[in-house]
Amino acid sequence: MQHAHDASGNRTESDDQITVTTRDAGEGRVVVEVGGEVDMLTSPQLRAAVLGVLPGAATVVLALDSVTFLGTSGLAVLIEVREAAQQAGVALLLACTGRRVLRPLSIAGLVPMFDVRDSIEDALAP
């Protein structure tokens, strides 16, 4: 896995299948933008990124519109980080309109477990 920084200096983790970028949105809000495939091989990177930003955050937004595949391992990670966020008193929101993410969540009956918003901006709005 490569560790890089994007143009604004934010940390980006990537390999051939997934990108995970975190950025501070101010006032205790953190945005984790995820792209590519979230499967058995890549879901540990997503887990690590989200669990890593929970301490000190008030709100974490997972931006998932660039996800091209969400497998069962990815669903399991979403459930795990949701529970960790609840235990830490952190609001976890999903920003996503893409069928590739919403369909697996819906099929698994998980949509009601998450606060799903149409955009990062909607998720960050007071």
pLDDT at 1 over 70: no
Q: What is the mean pLDDT of the chain?
A: 90
Q: Please give the radius of gyration of the chain, using alpha carbons only, rounded to the nearest integer.
A: 13
Dihedral angle, C-alpha 23, 28, 34, 39, nearest 10 °:
130
d(CA 74, CA 6): 24
User: pLDDT tens across 55-81, in order?
Assistant: 999 999 999 999 999 999 999 999 999
The tokens for 118 are: 């149409």
List of domains in the chain:
2-124 (3.30.750.24)
